[in-house]
Chain A
Amino acid sequence: MIIRLKDINKTYPGVVPLHVLKDINLDIERGELVAIMGASGSGKSTLLNILGILDNYDSGEYFLDGVLIKDLSENRAAELRNRMIGFVFQSFNLISYKNAVENVALPLFYQGVSRRKRNMLAMEQLERMGLADRAHHLPGELSGGQKQRVAIARSLITNPSIILADEPTGALDSTTSHDVMNLFRELNAEGMTIVIVTHDPGVGAATNRIIRISDGRIVPDEPVIAEQPQIIV
């Protein structure tokens, strides 16, 4: 069990407090490829933030790879994010003045890995993504699909427990989206656990399990593996 959520509640305080997550219980096994789907405002982004240790929750328990993620100090949270989670964002979130290799290597910078080793590992990841020839280009000189592959390379470089992807195809055209999803499936086939937040049914259909969230609650599971032939690959 790589992710275990028990009775997670989250309320945003305010004049009218907003109860965004209500008694969420969720288990994700190692090696799964999961989509979290839901309408805008359903709480799926908040759930992703909690899974990514970017946000706190009010009550319940969250275990990530056996570690209880609760009331962590800022530093501990940063360390766990760095070592256990790879993020992929809708808008890529690459640093504009760093070239592809430097962007990919950045998480290792915060682990104190030497520059040479960092860049070597980053090059390996870029080669894996088929971007070796783009290694010294700035993000502005790359296409959307290439940018997202650089971002995926960055998420992989620390060899994390899970990859959390927030609308990874949201800014891409359908062909490129297709390529990115195929990449995720390949990584999953190699054993990587991947959680994708999306509202795109096509993306959801390309995963092995869909977790639907509505009004802060998880809609009971519907196994998709059976009806899902390998149409994408």
Chain B
Amino acid sequence: MFDLINEIGQTMRNNKLRTGLTGFAVAWGIFMLIILLGLSRGLMSGFEANSSERNLNSVSVWRGMTSIPYKGYKEGRQIRLKASTVDKLNQSNNKYIGNASAYNYIDSAKVTGPKDYVSNGIEGIAPESQRDQRIKIYAGRFINQADMNNNRKVMVISRKTAKTIFGSDSTEVIGQRVKSLGLAWTIVGLFDREWGEDDNYVPFNTAVALSGGDPSIWSMNVYIENVSDEKTALEAEDAIRGELAKIYDFHPADRSAAPMWNRFTNYLQNKEGMKILDYAVWIIGIFTMLSGIVGVSNIMFVSVRERTHEIGIRRAIGAKRRNILTQIILESVSITTIFGYLGIVMGMIVMQIIAHFFGNGGSGNSPLGNPTVDLSIALKVTLVLIIAGALAGLFPALKATKVKPVEALRDE
């Protein structure tokens, strides 16, 4: 084996330019494959990171309009979601329906502090919405269940708002009072977020009580349970629609009466899309590499042609067909593998640079998560390289074995 490697090394050194040019084509192909794979991995890990920050198993429901006549009502009736529906859904014992929550926005409200006031309104929110809204608490705490149960007059504001109305965003603000809708509220937390810094959060139940009676809401969020695939996710939607149909008297199959956005099915679809992207990248990459492989094959043909005489000598002094075949194929595999690895290393270096400047290690707003290529991909690529190299060498090698020593040795 060592001898064979030595033989190959000798022929490669003997044809430096040829080996180099062929190798470049292969290295370039692999380089492109690694870059493509890295970028697609980056997109995917970015997507996964984004997904994991949100609750995937939830369904949003909006106000809708009926499209099917039902129980004497004509179609085209507005369905206004009521705050009380949240409680009704929470009392449901359907196996798919989990916790429901909603927002109640009182847009006329001013929030007044010791220094200044803001007039952004206040927003009734449930504790579980913190994650969906990606509200990062900077100091203090978010709205909790006790606030909800007791209709407490507590408020969570942004650091920016705190600076405006208190002139400070330090933790001393926690526990201070502000005025809104003619009532005194206690600040229990400060949040930090790149968008939506104007929101002022209060407990949902408190906001509902302040609105008086049973205010209508724009949308609600329902957690779904026991879902694992597309089918159960759709059944969960049907279950929610069925509950709402009972409350609002619309046909249980009337989709437009309660339009929904199912994050879970959306996630599944995105995941499917990502899978297709991955396949596409492999296919494009392999075709890019193919041009390199064809180059190797071509150069091996030339090499066999040039070395007809040498192959003739080897055959005359006792080389079997198998010896010649293995030598040519291994030569081809060595060229593809050595230069392929060069391409992998270059690709990885470039991806590390891209990761350094554009990646974010799975947080923030960049669509690129971690755009680096892991070991399993390197192994897959190695396998591809060896197979490709062997294929590239096969036909030239078969041609080489057909060299007849008599003809090859005839003096030109």
Given contacts A54-B406, A98-B10, contact A74 B320 (CB under 8 A): yes
Counted as pairs of residues, one from A and one from B, with CB atoms less than 8 Å apart, the total is 61
Minimum CB–CB distance for A141 against chain B, Å: 15
A176 within 8 A of B: no
Minimum CB–CB distance for B167 against chain A, Å: 84
Q: In B126-178, which residues have CB < 8 Å from any A CB?
A: none
B375 within 8 A of A: no
Q: In A73-102, which residues have CB < 8 Å from any B CB?
A: 74-75, 78-79, 81-83, 87, 89-91, 93-98
Q: Is the CB of B3 within 8 A of A115?
A: yes
16 contacts between A and B (CB under 8 A): A54-B405, A54-B406, A78-B315, A78-B319, A81-B317, A81-B318, A83-B318, A87-B317, A89-B409, A95-B313, A96-B310, A97-B11, A98-B10, A106-B314, A107-B318, A158-B318
CA distance A89 to B309 in the complex (A): 13
B247 within 8 A of A: no
Minimum CB–CB distance for A94 against chain B, Å: 8
Q: Is the CB of B411 within 8 A of A52?
A: no
6 new A-B contacts at CB < 8 Å, known A82-B317, A106-B314: A52-B316, A74-B320, A91-B411, A93-B312, A93-B313, A97-B11
Given contacts A89-B409, A109-B3, contact A78 B318 (CB under 8 A): yes
Q: Is the CB of B3 within 8 A of A78?
A: no
Minimum CB–CB distance for A166 against chain B, Å: 8
Cβ-neighbour of B316 out of A54, A74, A97 (below 8 A):
A54
Give A contacts to B, CB under 8 Å.
49, 52, 54-55, 74-75, 78-79, 81-83, 87, 89-91, 93-98, 106-107, 109-111, 115, 154, 158
CA distance A83 to B314 in the complex (A): 14
Q: In chain A, what residue has the closest Cβ to B10?
A: A97
Q: In chain A, what residue has the closest Cβ to B6?
A: A115
Q: Is the interface of B mostly helix, strand, loop or mixed?
A: helix
Q: Is the CB of A107 within 8 A of B321?
A: no
Contacts of A94 in B (CB 8 A): 313
Cβ-neighbour of B14 out of A74, A97, A106 (below 8 A):
A97
Minimum CB–CB distance for B410 against chain A, Å: 9
Q: Is the CB of A90 within 8 A of B318?
A: no
Q: Is the CB of B406 within 8 A of A55?
A: yes
Kindly name the residue among B10, B318, B323, B409 whose own CB sees the greatest number of chain A CB atoms within 10 A: B318
Cβ-neighbour of A81 out of B13, B316, B323 (below 8 A):
B316
B357 within 8 A of A: no
Contacts of B322 in A (CB 8 A): 75
B195 within 8 A of A: no
Q: Is the CB of B321 within 8 A of A75?
A: yes
CA distance A95 to B13 in the complex (A): 14
Q: Is the CB of A111 within 8 A of B318?
A: yes
Q: Is the CB of B406 within 8 A of A107?
A: no
Contacts of A79 in B (CB 8 A): 318, 320
Kindly name the residue among B2, B312, B320, B323 whose own CB sees the greatest number of chain A CB atoms within 10 A: B320
Contacts of B320 in A (CB 8 A): 74-75, 78-79, 110
Q: In B383-412, which residues have CB < 8 Å from any A CB?
A: 405-406, 409, 411
Minimum CB–CB distance for A100 against chain B, Å: 14
